[in-house]
Structure 1
Amino acid sequence: MKLKVQKSEHEIQKEIMLALSECGYMVFRANVGKVRMTDGRWFDTGLPVGHPDLYGFRKDGKIFYIEVKDYKGKPREGQVHFHKMLNRYGIIHGIARSADDAVKIVKEGLVGYGF
């Protein structure tokens, strides 16, 4: 019996970016985190807590956000709060565990898929 190797979030993210680009969508990776500067201060990327991993827009100008998770990943509290805010405005967004999930979210204009 062959063992199925699960993909990392990073691998899934790369596949999603490629698939969305191939469909004609503009997609960007949100680099988030904190780094300690040489003078000891912390630098924060400035994105809000819970900001999804990927964002972009469709040809019709509608924006979308994609939170990438592996097969067992669960959204953190900040991600759930961000999701609720996006829901209030009817923004296309969702959790994608594969490139197929991401394309479905964006193409169908789904709001809150996977949350």
Structure 2
Amino acid sequence: MTTVTDTATQAPYAEARPADAPIAESRGFSIASLVLGLVSIVAGYSFVVPIVGLVLGIMALKREPAARTMAIWGIVLNAVLLAGATLVAIGAAVFGLVMLPFAFL
């Protein structure tokens, strides 16, 4: 037994969005930057996490104007923690070079 249906009377799977409907803005880059900024507090010594968060925050400023606050917080957190990790690394290198003559006593 076969049934013939008219395709014109069936509802389409996805209806088109009306022209006046608001477009949902993406906030993925800014959220990722903020989350990586918070993760950088714990994993800032790795240098990779703050750098990725900083890049995502800068990209979010350009692409996501509605999520500007989260992007700025992500940039600030990542930049401060990256600068802190860099200063600690430089300080450790200088301390190691200063103590090098005493290593062979």
TM > 0.5 fold call? no
Structure whose CA Rg is larger: 2
Q: TM-score, normalised by structure 1?
A: 0.23
Q: TM-score, normalised by structure 2?
A: 0.25
Judging by fraction of residues, say which structure has more strand: 1
